[in-house]
Structure 1
Amino acid sequence: MADTPRNRKTKKDDYIVQGTILAAAVVITKVIGVVYRIPLTNILGDEGNGFYGYAYQVYAIALMLSSLSLPTAVSKLVSARVAAGERRNAFRVFVCSLVFAAVVGLVVSLAIFFGAGAVSEYMMRAPLSAYALRVLAPGLLIVAVMAVLRGYFQGLGTMMPTAISQIIEQIINAVVSIVGASVLFGMGTRAGEKAGEELLGPAYGAAGGTLGTVLGALAGLLFLLFVLWAFRGGIRRQLRRDRRSREETYSHILKALVLTAVPVIFSTAIYNINQILDLTIFNHIMDAQGFTEQQYMSLQGIYTGKYDPLINVPMSIPYALSSSIVPSLTAVVMAKNKKKTYYQIDQTLRLTTIITIPSCVGFIALASPLMVLLYNDDSATPANLLMMGAIVIVLYGWSTITNSVLQGLNYMSTPAKNAAIALVVHLIAFVIMMTVFRMNVYALAAGNIVFSLVMAFLNQRKIHQVCGFRVNIKKTFLKPILASLIMGIITYAVHFGLDRLIGGRVIPTVVAILIAMAVYVVLILKMGAVSDDDVESLPMGARILRVCRRLHLMPEPADLDI
């Protein structure tokens, strides 16, 4: 597909810049998450991580119902009104959404707090997870309000408040989680000795770990409120200047919010419920197959405490890009600019695969060294899980971006329908893998592959049907795959050589990762998978492009595929 001519970019055109800012922040938070999970995993042990991971999955479902759809819905509604010059109505969307989020967040928070015991005992088959779930409950109200603030800023075209708030949130989360887990693990161990319950220590420790999630969210919310207060003067001036728009009623806005949010809730719900269903089915089948609670919670702890945090680091980048493309694509679609619509979709999809494919190959090449580096775990199960599930990064990345593309094209319900189909196929496959093939914990990773593959295929087919967009296979897939395979071979060879020469946990793996990054960047630039316009779309893009030209990393424009 041809690149559009590089015109002077306006504020509405910098979706890649904003997406990159948010992606950088999300990667930082995910890296912090991986780093702090190392001491947290060591404190809790595999059993404690099982309680922590399971409670967090239920929390994720409740979070999805109360707030996860709100940033997308609010940003879409706000950006549509800003594009039409209706600043006053955009602010009314924010006010209405804030009240809605506070009410829904409070109801869901109370339901989880008082229902934690029943959920843990009858649904989870892990009654001691109730401690962690009760601690997490207040966070649902906090995150619901915070989600609206983030959506409002995103709709105005800036990801910076969201990005900074996420970093603050994660730093507080990391510190409090480690301290809370350590203190409460000791308290639980002593209480368990008196009560004759050996898993009480890990259960209390998991509750202490989740305390960081709540206080981190509170810190992020306070920062966003400060930003809103700091820019209150500018917002008031914009509202006073808006004399053209007819004031929308709050009832009309609420209806639009619900109609926009509900399809997003359903698609997000299925994404998240797929995990909690897997873990629930896993526990029940493992129990029926004769495994003890300690055994299957330990395996689940490996999956949620070691595999998931690593996989989620590169998967966070497509999520960040998807957050920026919804309001931007909404404005382009409203302007009925088909050429620019194609261009935005193509650019976002290419950047997604350029990031996710090398991440997948890198995890396969360095699966065991990464587990040893981060968790000092040289056993086969965590490394095999990572190698087996690495392809999920590419598939989930594609399905996440295509979800947002469909939402930007105003096909809000399609991702939910596709996710429902993918869920049914996934559950059938998962049960077969657990019962017939007895794949044990590996079925969790394999099930995710099935779900994300079906979802990505259905989404892409729908995009082609509704707007005629076709993927540039060579630039989107073949070039990143070739560059990634060369990178993977070099990475494995470098680690193998350094491991034989000097050994150790840190140096061979870190050096191999750094060389892998450098090799891939050079290859992907030399192959022409990234255009001049792609580079210029990045923060400080013009400067980066000049450096690339000086180092002869970019092919001449005539050599690029058109």
Structure 2
Amino acid sequence: MSKDTFLKGAFILTVAGIIVKIIGSVNRILLSRLLGGEGIGLYQMAYPIYLLALSVSSAGIPVAISIIVAEKIALSDYRGANRVFRISLGVLAATGLLFTFLLYFGAGWLIDHHFVRDPRAYYAIAALAPAIFFVTVLSSYRGYFQGLQMMTPTAVSQIFEQLLRVITMIAFAYILLPHGLEFAAAGASFGAGPGAAAGLLVLLYFYWKHKPGFKHQMETQPQIIQETSVSIISRIVKLALPVSLANIMLPVVASIDLLIVPARLEVAGYSVEQATELFGYLTGMAVPLVNLATILTASLAASLVPAVSEAFTLGNKQLIYQRTATAMRISNMITIPSFIGMGLLATPISLMLYGTPNAGTSIAILSIGIFLLGVHQVTTGVLQGLGHTAIPVINMALSAVVKVIMSWLLTAMPALGIMGAAWATVADFGVAALLNMFFVYRYTGFSLDIKDTVKAIAASAVMGAVVLLAYDALMSYTLRNTVATIGAIAAGGTVFGTVFLLVGGVQARDIEQLPRIGEQLAALLIKLRLLRR
């Protein structure tokens, strides 16, 4: 039994995240074609309930369990770590069952009291009930494995969960479509249950596979006084609640945007139709690209939590600093060139992906948020690992206030319009990142390494020049935007990687921690004199 190294775990989660995103994108396309606008509308009336359950169980609870388990493992208390898992599993199984029954029998109440306006959505809501139980239970397993710094079980379970969810959604929607749109939407909703069950079965497989190793460690460990059940449950709730609130804040802030931005665009002189169109460019096209570019930094944050918690428990401040610095260096290596590349190619990317150049302005402004969001995610992981899970939530709340004020003021200015809303979103990321950085410095002494950051900026600047030249050259040669955009991105990525290696932005140990190919790749780059030890 061997735990994944910190960077290796982040890489594994990143690959899984990309695969899950691809499967999800295919699902959206197929389901939209199958159900049409009205059917998707019925499905979307139920789906936020599942997202709410997912945001609580897949964010707060695994993080809390992983922190406590990592603490126990750092002290060689394997029996205590297993006890945390068993207690959390029992509690979550009970609460999952409770909420499953509440949702199933409460679906009619939601319709009768007009919380959901269309009565046809009843079936879609009731069909989600089984998913609540499975999603809640599997969060306990994910938290346990993450606390052991074994990211492979979580990654594999995420892929299987998404894959089976999509297959069953499409299958049941297709089978039930002849009976009416409401039943087809219910079939799509029901897919969440088998998907979560598949994810749980994968985690059970990994648990039973490693159970002999767990048992051996528990039998050979020294006698350690065990924490009481009440204390463990209390700590899980205390650590999980802020993380869950932070996750819930994301759709809340999005809802605030929905209330403010279109209305303020009308004040700026746009018609209702124009305001809706511009809002779609910002939230439906630009924001997803920023989230896509930060998959790696989100994975770094998840991998960082147990790694920092382990070092903190051992009182190893130097290791905390080192892991934080490594994560931030890797984050900058991804987010700085992504921000510059997306900013320069914003309009071509908009035309390539969405068939319109009109989202280019919003994408260009929000591209700055890629770097800021990366800093925010990494620092959140550090603070959570230190046990300060409430601090990132408070910082998010403060940054949300700034965003609301700026959206209200800037969006109504005719000279800015939707650009004002985009700048408000960038400010939201920036304020949250700066506040997090302040507390990370306060607790660990870490601040951004200017030398490493300058290397990333310099390599990105060279990349930016190549991207513009490559795009113009390919456009004049092929006259096809998609070919020119993909070619420019490929050329830019190659140049950035080469220049960044030459200026010493990557260390050999970073490459060596890549799964399977790391050591061989590092040796090859050293031989080619592109990498130094």
What TM-score, normalized by structure 2, do the two folds share?
Answer: 0.85
Q: Distance in 1 between matches of 2:519 and 2:509?
A: 9
Deviation at 1:159, TM superposition (A): 0.5
Pairing 1:253–2:232 present: yes
Task: Identify the residue that residue 156 of structure 2 maps to in structure 1.
Answer: 164
User: Does structure 1 residue 489 correspond to structure 2 residue 465?
Assistant: yes
Alpha-carbon distance change, 62 to 439 in structure 1, aligned in 2, over 3 angstroms? farther
C-alpha distance in 2 between matches for 1:46 and 1:319? 32
1:409 aligns with 2:386: yes
Distance 1:43 1:395 in 2: 38
**2:424 counterpart of 1:432:** no
Q: Tell me which residue corresponds to 1:19.
A: 10
Mean CA deviation greater in 119-128 or 409-418: 119-128
Pairs within 5 Å for 1:84-233: 84-108=75-99, 114=106, 136=128, 138-177=130-169, 212-233=191-212
User: Paired residue for 1:3?
Assistant: none
Matched, 1:542 2:519: yes
The SS at the match of 1:231 is: helix
SS at match of 1:328: helix
Offset of residue 317 of structure 1: 1.0
CA gap of 1:178–1:362, structure 2 versus 1, over 3 A, is: farther
- Judge which range, 259-268 or 40-49, deviates more: 40-49
Structure 1 CA distance, aligned partners of 2:122 and 2:361?
A: 31
* Contact 1:132 1:210 survives alignment (8 Å): yes
**Correspondence 1:397 to 2:374:** yes
CA deviations 1:254-286 (Å, max 9, x no partner) are 112112212322333334432233235557778
* AA partner of residue 85 (structure 1): S
Confirm or deny that 1:276 pairs with 2:268. no
- Kept in 1, the 8 Å contact 2:347–2:358? The answer is no
Aligned to 2:216: 237
Query: Shift in Å at residue 457 of structure 1?
Result: 0.4
Q: Is structure 2 residue 489 aligned with structure 1 residue 498?
A: no
Q: Could you tell me which residue of structure 1 aligns to residue 318 of structure 2?
A: 339
Q: Deviations over 1:366-396 (max 9, x none)?
A: 334444444xx33233333322322222211
Inter-partner Cα distance in structure 2 for 1:527 and 1:119:
62
Work out whether 1:514 is the aligned partner of 2:490: yes
Take 2:476 and 2:174, find their aligned partners in 1: how far apart are those partners?
37
Verify: 1:467 aligned to 2:444, yes or no.
yes
Counterpart AA for 1:140: I
- In structure 2, the partner of 1:560 is none
Shift of 1:139: 3.1
Amino acid of the residue matched to residue 255 of structure 2? I
Q: Tell me: higher relative CO, structure 1 or 2? Use CA pairs within 8 A at least 6 residues apart.
A: 1
Distance 1:505 1:330, change over 3 A: same
Whichever residue aligns with residue 523 of structure 1, its letter is V
Cα 1:138–1:337 change in 2 (3 A) is: same
Letter in 1 for 2:435: L
How much identity, in percent, do the aligned residues show? 31
Change (3 A) 1:518 1:130: farther
**Kept after mapping to 1: 8 A contact 2:35/2:184:** yes
- Does the Cα contact within 8 Å between 1:123 and 1:280 map onto a contact in 2? no
2:327 maps to a residue whose letter is T
**Paired residues, what number?**
530
Instruction: Provide closer, same or farther for how the CA distance between residues 63 and 482 of structure 1 changes in structure 2, counting only shifts above 3 A.
Output: same
How many angstroms apart in 2 are the aligned matches of 1:372 and 1:182? 32
Match of 1:355 in 2: 334
Q: Secondary structure at the match of 2:149?
A: coil
- 37-46 or 257-266: which moved more? 37-46
On the 8 A contact 1:425/1:450 being kept in 2, the answer is: yes
- 1:317 aligned partner: 296
Seen in structure 2, the aligned counterparts of structure 1 residues 178 and 276 have a Cα distance that, compared at 3 Å, is farther
1:529 is the counterpart of 2:521:
no
CA change 1:60–1:167 in 2 (3 A) is same
Listed one character per residue, the Cα deviations across residues 298-338 of structure 1 (whole Å, up to 9, x for unaligned) are 76665565444433222121111111111111111222222
Q: Aligned equivalents of 1:330 and 1:140: distance in 2?
A: 29
Partner SS, residue 553 of structure 1: coil
Which segment drifts farther, 12-21 or 106-115? 106-115
How far apart are the structure 2 equivalents of 1:297 and 1:56?
22
TM-score normalised per structure 1: 0.81
Shift of 1:163: 1.1
The separation in 2 between residues aligned to 1:65 and 1:48, in whole angstroms, is: 27
Opposite residue 229 of structure 2, the aligned amino acid is Y
Return the offset for 1:249.
2.5
User: Which range is displaced more, 440-449 or 111-120?
Assistant: 111-120
Q: Quote how far apart the aligned CAs of 1:361 are.
A: 2.3
Residues of 2 paired with 1:79 and 1:393: CA distance? 30
> Contact between 1:154 and 1:327, CA under 8 Å: does it hold in 2?
yes
1:344 Cα shift?
1.0
Question: Deviations 1:418-437 (Å, cap 9, x if unpaired)?
Answer: 12211222222223345555
The Cα shift of 1:486 comes to 2.4
For residues 63 and 251 of structure 2, what CA distance do their matches in structure 1 show?
16
Extract unaligned runs of 5+ from structure 1. Answer: 1-9, 192-200, 558-562
Cα distance change on mapping 1:63 and 1:164 into 2, 3 Å: closer
How far off its partner does 1:534 sit? 2.4
The unaligned stretches of length 5 or more in structure 2 are none
Q: Deviations over 1:145-203 (max 9, x none)?
A: 2221111111112101111112222333444455566777x669xx6xxxxxxxxx7x9
1:63 aligns with 2:39: no
Partner AA of 2:139 in structure 1: A
Aligned with 1:69: secondary structure? helix
How many Å separate the matches in 2 of 1:344 and 1:552? 26
Distance 1:208 1:370 in 2: 35
Contact kept, 8 Å, 2:265 with 2:412, in 1: the verdict is no
Aligned to 1:30: 21
| Equivalence for 1:6 | none
Residues 180 and 227 (structure 1), Cα distance of their counterparts in 2 relative to 1, 3 Å cut: same
Inter-CA distance 290–517: structure 2 relative to 1 (3 Å threshold): closer
Equivalent-residue separation in structure 2 for 1:126 and 1:483 (angstroms): 54
Counterpart in 2 of 1:196? none
CA spacing shift, 1:105–1:89, aligned 2, 3 Å: same
Higher mean Cα deviation, 481-490 or 448-457?
Answer: 481-490
